[in-house]
Amino acid sequence: MSVPSDRKVAARFRDPGALVPRSMRRQSVGLPELSELQVLRHFNRLSQMNFSVELGMYPLGSCTMKYNPKVSELISGADGMKFAHPLQPIETVQGLLSIFYELERYLSEITGMHRFSLSTAAGAQGELAGVLMIRKYLRDHGQGKRSEILVPDSAHGTNPASATMGGFQVVKVPSDSNGQVRAASVRELCSDRTAGMMFTVPNTLGLFEVEVAEVCQAVHDAGGLMYYDGANMNALLGRARPGDMGFDIVHLNLHKTFATPHGGGGPGAGPVGVTRKLAGYLPVPVVSKGKGGYTLDYDLKHTIGPLKGFVGNSAILLRAYVYIRLLGASGLADVSSLAVAAANYLWKSLDAEAYPPSHGETRHRKHEAVVSVKSELPGAALTVAKAILDHGMHAPTVYFPLIVHEALMIEPTESEPIEMLDEYAAALNEIYREMKAGTLGAVPAFTSVGKIDEVKASHPMTLRVHW
């Protein structure tokens, strides 16, 4: 390691540790002692035991594992981003703020919302912001007794978790046998206790919710607000906007739709947008443009407050901005067209008997397809998932949504060339044949380790090594 040390300064402090009061001095730090080369070899080797989008197909449903443009990485490494401190005077970061301002305008146009806060660090944090805004808005309007949030049974787990964090009770809305939420069901579940509903369109089955406008109307009629989970926005870019469907609040996942890298589990960004009536409630700060230039506005009249320490995941916001500039209006519309075409093509290339669709078999899918694995064997979806790893491709999302038996949720994205779609379908079909014939063998066999004993792991004593 090398740490700079100004000799003239160092000379004054023969024992810098003594500047810490004796009672507060640290005894020792148990860190490894390695050369730079050893550390690099270690992490390089680890990286070689890790699958990624840039190595092969990674069709995790609802994660939108599309390709992350290299130029975004390069631009985000600029000094003007890396070394910018969030507390430096805004006059000194006008270039950066102008980019955020434009990004905010673009996201508002794409979703049909009035204004966005770029501060929330992930979709789940955006959801929390949304739930808190619903809470505050209703209280401010004398509707504080509304304690319930409707969540479809197909919803992503973050939805009910966010609702609970916001102090609400979750009321489950059943999907019908066609995989749709009916406005009539929603109306039945609405009451004067309804604060709002969280809704994903297209839904986690990959199907557009055709009654979305009526659902929004039903909740509005009951006095509640509508929240749009934007995880599946890749299906709708340039085709439809949640603002036009009746939603009041929207979050977007920039690490999904807007091609910022997934980072092995983050960082992402989950900006949250609202209609005009809720604009004063957004989490702060928001980026504003005034006569003197761009500012960070912390004084929104009814803000729920900040959710993050500083302005937002800026380096991620920058990447999303670059992506939008690379695609542009026509390009973004092409994205949804091609993502949807790819998902349908892949789905139709699957053996329909092996992988029956979960719902609505006569309907076109949107950006992802959900199928069941047809088998008497328990854990068939898990077996298929592990087997596909041996083909050098990542498994789809498994066992989600909860309402589908032995579910596989496949989202290829628009990044995959048609040959990859063919290869993936062929692999899934072959795996099924082998499974049925009993010739599959133990899977996975070709990954860096074999099948892992995950059950044994779930004990707190496995969480760290002790020296």
298-357 residues in contact with another protein (CB under 8 A) are: 304-316, 318, 321-322, 324-335, 337-338, 340-342, 344-345, 348-349
Report if residue 293 touches another protein, rule: CB under 8 A. Answer: no
Residue 219 CB neighbours (<10 A):
27
Bridge partners (DSSP) listed for residue 148: 169, 194
What are phi and psi for residue 244, nearest 5 degrees? -80, -10
Evaluate whether 345 touches 353 at the Cβ level (below 8 Å).
no
Number of shown-chain residues binding another protein (CB under 8 A): 198
- 424-443 residues in contact with another protein (CB under 8 A) are 442
- 54-73 residues in contact with another protein (CB under 8 A) are 54-55, 58, 60, 63, 65, 67-69, 71, 73
What stretch of H or E contains 226? strand 225-230
Q: Where are the alpha helices (DSSP H) in 69-211?
A: 70-76, 79-82, 94-111, 123-140, 158-165, 183-189
CB 175, min distance to another protein, A: 16
Binding segment for another protein (CB under 8 A), chosen from 183-191, 217-225, 412-420, 430-438, is: 412-420
d(CA 26, CA 16): 13
d(CA 447, CA 456): 20
Q: Which of residues 59, 130, 152, 166 is near another protein by CB under 8 A?
A: 166
- Give the CA count within 13 Å in the CB-facing half-sphere of 386: 16
Q: Which of residues 245, 250, 274, 403 is near another protein by CB under 8 A?
A: 245
Evaluate whether 118 touches 305 at the Cβ level (below 8 Å).
no
- 217-236 residues in contact with another protein (CB under 8 A) are none
Binding segment for another protein (CB under 8 A), chosen from 181-189, 191-199, 287-295, 360-368, is: 360-368
Residue 166 vs 230, nearer CB to another protein: 166
Binding segment for another protein (CB under 8 A), chosen from 1-9, 219-227, 351-359, 431-439, is: 1-9
CB 153, min distance to another protein, A: 10
Q: Which of residues 57, 219, 395, 427 is near another protein by CB under 8 A?
A: 395
CB 244, min distance to another protein, A: 5
Q: Give yes or no for a cis peptide into 271 (omega within 30° of 0).
A: no
What are phi and psi for residue 439, nearest 5 degrees? -105, 15
Binding segment for another protein (CB under 8 A), chosen from 191-199, 221-229, 273-281, 396-404, is: 396-404
Evaluate whether 302 touches 280 at the Cβ level (below 8 Å).
yes
Report if residue 408 touches another protein, rule: CB under 8 A. Answer: no
Q: Which of residues 114, 143, 161, 217 is near another protein by CB under 8 A?
A: 161
d(CA 417, CA 414): 8
Binding segment for another protein (CB under 8 A), chosen from 118-126, 189-197, 217-225, 427-435, is: 118-126
d(CA 381, CA 76): 39
